[in-house]
Amino acid sequence: MGYRSKGGDLDSTTLLSASVPMGAFTFGIASAEYNGLRGTVYGVNYSLSKTTTIYASRQTSDVAALDASYRIKLVKAF
C-alpha cells in the first residue's frame, strides 16, 4: 500500500495504490490525481509458475482523450 501527495502553487499531485496477494492471485488498484484530473487502474496477476505470470488490467480516466483501456499480458522471467 502506498500514498504520496505533493502540492504547490502551480500544481498538485496525489497517488494512492494498494495490492493484496491471495494465493496465486495478486489484486491491485492505483489512483492518481493531477490538478483535478483523475485516473484509476485496476489489475490482477495470476502466477502460472515461478517464472510465468498473466496480468490483466483496466484503466479509466477523467480526460476525454484517454478512453478506458484494457490490457492482458503474459510475462516470462528468465
Domain range annotation of the chain:
2-76
Nearest to 36 by CA among 7, 65, 59, 57: 7
For residue range 21-73, list pLDDT tens digits in order.
999 999 999 998 887 788 899 999 999 999 999 999 999 888 766 678 899 99
Distances (CA, A) of 54 to 8, 11, 20, 70, 75: 39, 36, 16, 14, 6
pLDDT given for residue 42 in this prediction: 94
**pLDDT beyond 90 at 13:** no
What fold characterizes domain 2-76? Pantoate--beta-alanine Ligase; Chain: A,domain 2 (3.30.1300)
